[in-house]
Structures are given as structure tokens and as C-alpha cells.
Structure 1
């Protein structure tokens, strides 16, 4: 009898129950994922990145030659007999020294991706922590830390990187270190601006009231809430790191033999353009361009998906 005492209340409960289930099923990341996969350019970029990464990791398994193996039978006849051929096993042809270009492009793509990802990772970690600390502490500490960033940003980036490579030696490690430790400046300013708006939120004030230490608040409450902007910036930073590395390698100051990168391969290809060996430039340039465009498309898609104004 009590169940039918108020039929309007029973109807209201039946209507609200599925609505509550729908609201409970949605989350910020689920919404961002749906928005990302609706962006066709971003999805295509993600697919291209998957294949480029698979090529860099597993491409050497189908190569019949090592990156440093020289085919002496082609010396002096590169333009005639060194062109791309499945029969000879030189799928992308050979380079100016008779080495298999396919194996070299696989190695160069792997090195360029490593430089981009590791450099962006160093920049994001250092910049996020630095900016979060400056924004949370505020006051004179914030002023001093950000004025230091302004001074460092006034110094030409490429000049510092080239100077580091000349003084400390040309190696992949110095390339990682130089690119990563200089590229964090922009990330620190972004993280600091976001922290200024987050540190006044209720959950941060509750943590302060319970006696949580400032460093713990920064690591457990501030930094996780910067994750969205950090992911977007890191995705857009990777192609910039690849461009910087390629430019340095194009000048001859980057990756040195026996290793190689896409920038070094492009430099060697441009030097052989007048010898009828255009494939030496075409293949590394192709992988360089599709990698850059894929990262840019994915970064734009993530930025649109995680932008709160569009939601």
C-alpha cells in the first residue's frame, strides 16, 4: 500500500534513475576522448605516428643490410645501379658511400624520435615542476624565479645549444641535455599561469588546512591538475625538438657517425642532388615531414579535446 501512496513520486523516481545513470557514466577524460576521435585529422595523425614508430622499432627486421654495411660493388655507379630495388635488397637505394639507405632511414627515424620524445620529456618535467613551485609559493620567490626565466629566454636558444655541443662534445647525450634543459622555459611559464588559478581552489585550501606540506600539495594536487595542458604542450613540443635536432645535424654538429638522424640524412641527400640520386633526399625527407605533420595534427586534436571553453 505504501508503494502506491504517492504515484507521482514513483514516476519521478523512474524518470530520474536513467538520467542519473547517464550523468554518472560521463567523465572529463571520456568526453575528451570522444572529442579527439571525432577530429579526423588528429586520428589520421595518430595512425601515421603508430606506423612511423613501428617502422623505427621493427623496420630493421626486414632489412637485408646493416646501417654501416658498404656495398662495394656499387662504388662509382650509384646513379645507375644504386637506385631503389627490391631485387638487390636496397629498398630505398643506397647512400653516397654505398650503404643501404633503408637501414639508415630506420636508424635515423629512431634517433630523431628519441631526441624529440626525450627532449620534450625533460622539458616538460623540469618546466612543470619549476612553474608549479613558482606559482604556488608566489611573492618574492615567484618574482625571482620568473625573472630568471625571462633572462634565460632572452638568450638565443640555438646559440646556446651550438655552444654546448662545441664545448662539451658532439654526442646524443649532450643533444638530449641541451635541447631539454633549454626548451623547459616556455613550459614553466604555462605551468606557473595555470598554478595561479589552481592554488585558490577548495581542495588546495582543504589540504593547507589539514597541515599538508607545500611540496606534497604541489606534487599531489597542483601537478596532476596540470596534466591536460602538459599533455598538449608535450605533443606540440616533440616536433619542435625534432626540427631543432635536424637543424643541428644539418649543420654537422648533431648526431655523428656511425649513428645518423633524419637531419643528417637530409643534409647528405642535398649534397648529392646534382648527381642523379634524388632518392637519397626523398626518403628521409618524406619520413621527416609525415612525422612532423602527424605530431602537429595530434597536438591540435588534443588541444581542442581538452579545451574547457569548447566543452
Structure 2
């Protein structure tokens, strides 16, 4: 009598699991589109009318201050006096453009004083932490941004600002590209787990090459070797600036400072590398080719 048990189906050999591809973690299409749009606005204002670009800096400063103040209030219950910060921050940028470093320092002092006085109109509890955070915000965002406005005052000011922006972007791009492809050794895992030593090497290499080309071709009386030093300094300051904001965001328990720029986060998430790099580039430009 034939067996009623059906013949067993031969098992197919299992395929080895494919390694998961690395992902960037953000919407690259949105990030590229927003980046191109911002770049067009910045370049158009930079090379057409200097005063318009100063206005762009002031707007970015005010929005950045609003983002920082909002996150401090939400996550730490720190109520930064935003009105004197916004008014003083915009005035700081204009003063830096019109009066140089002296004007920027005076505006910084007056803004800090305004923060202290404005906060006096509310209850005394939390006064010290609120005004401390306010003075920190005044230095971190508008004061550092004034160095971009001060760069602009030179005869070749637009090109100096262009080189500053380009080298910072090139440094970030080099760090991302090399770190994404070859990164194995963490740079600062407790602060920013995604950053690697290989990425830092990529940032330095990319920025130094771009710096040599830019100083030789775009800056009056610039030399290629000056560009190498400038690129090295930009890579270092941009990396430290990125790590600094990562430290702030880790303390606040957030991923991004805002959601204003799709694929990028907030304005402050784009200014993190630029703000500490601005005084470095301004100082080296003055040292190399004068003011």
C-alpha cells in the first residue's frame, strides 16, 4: 500500500545575510535642495550689495537666538530674555560692520547689560541662570557672527566671506564623505558618536587643498601656503564648533535645535561650524593680507 505521506520538499539553502548599507540619517534630497537655495540667497546678497548681506547675517542671528532660547526654555526651564538679545544681536552685527571690533565689543557689553536689566522685571527666582544663559547666547551667536560682517568691510570683503563659507562647507563635506566611507575610530564618542578620526583627517585634507587654491586665486595678495594654514585652522575650528553644539544638544537631550530647514534641522544646526570659524578666518586674513 503506497504511503500517504507526501514527499518532503527539499529545503532551499539560506542565503547569507547581506550587510546593511550605511545610511546618512537625513533626507538628502531635502538637504541638498535647501542647501542650494540658501547658497543662492547668500551669494546673491554677498556680491550685489554688502548691506543686504549684513541684513542676512542679522536675520540668521535673530532666528538662531530664538531657536536657542526656545530649546533652553523647553528642556531646562531657562528663560533667556529674548527681546534684548534679538535687538542687541542685530545691532551687534551692524556695529561690527560699521565700527569694526570696537563697535562689536561695545554692542556686546550693552546687550549683556540690557539682558541683566530686562530680567529684573520678573521674579528673582532663577535670575542668575537666566542672565548667565543670556550673556552666553549673546556671545555665542551674534558676537561671533560679527566677525563675518567685519570680514566684509575689506576691499575684497565679499571674496573673503566666500572663502570663509566655502572652506567651512568643504571641511564639513570632507569629514562626512571620508568618515562615512572609511571611518572606524571614534573621535569623541561621548559627545558625537558619528564623528571619526578618519573624518577629521578628511576635513583637514579637503580644507587645506581648497584653502591653498582660494588664497592663491581669490584673495588679493594671498599665497598658497597661507591657504594651507587657513584650511588647517578652519578644519580644527569647524570640528570644535560642531562638537561644542553637539555637547549643548546632548545636555538638552535633543537631536536638532529646530526644524526650520528640512534635511538640516534648524538655523543653529547650520551655524554650529560657522560661528567659531568666523573669528579664526578674520584674524588669519588680517594677519596674512591686512584688513
| TM norm structure 1 | 0.31
Q: Which structure carries more helix by proportion? A: 1
RCO (CA 8 Å, sep 6+): is it higher in 1 or 2?
1
| TM norm structure 2 | 0.32
Structure of greater Rg: 1
